[in-house]
Amino acid sequence: MIKPDGVQRGLVGEVIRRIEKVGFKIIAMKLHKVTMEQAEKHYAIHKGKPFYEGLLEYITSGPVVSMIVEGKEAVKITRKIVGATNPVDAEPGSIRGDYSLEIGRNIIHAADSPENAIIEYKIYFAEEEFEVYQKSDEVWIYE
């Protein structure tokens, strides 16, 4: 998910470029505003923490771009492309390392496990919104 700061700063194309450049395909994507109900489900693990309310307020503050990315080791590799949650710890060349300075405005969210990816995408997408297809270059990406 490209968060409100990423959308407002015009980084949507750059983020998508990096995801596609590595060879992943996007099978679902939409620009939308996160509802409070969706935000509460997405960040339920943080309920009760001091930053929870601010997190909900921020993620619902403007449009986001949600997407489902598919490919071998998609979660693990996407996490590397995205960079550490705290931009101070993010490597140069990662999205957060290149474009963010603060943890509360770190451009993008990526699931931390395949299991959480499934939980999260079900908050934002119905399965009929997936576009399952084969890219012509997959033969050159995967052995």
Question: Is 109 annotated as catalytic?
Answer: yes
CA angle at 13 for the pair 25 and 105, rounded to the nearest 5°: 105
CB–CB of 16/24 below 8 Å? no
CA nearest to 59, candidates 90, 44, 38: 38
Q: Are 90 and 83 in contact (CB under 8 A)?
A: yes
Backbone region of residue 34 per phi and psi (left: phi > 0; alpha: psi in -120 to 50; beta: other values): beta
Could you say which of 32, 42, 46, 109 is catalytic? 109
Are residues 66 and 125 in contact, defined by beta-carbon separation less than 8 angstroms?
yes
Active site residues: 109
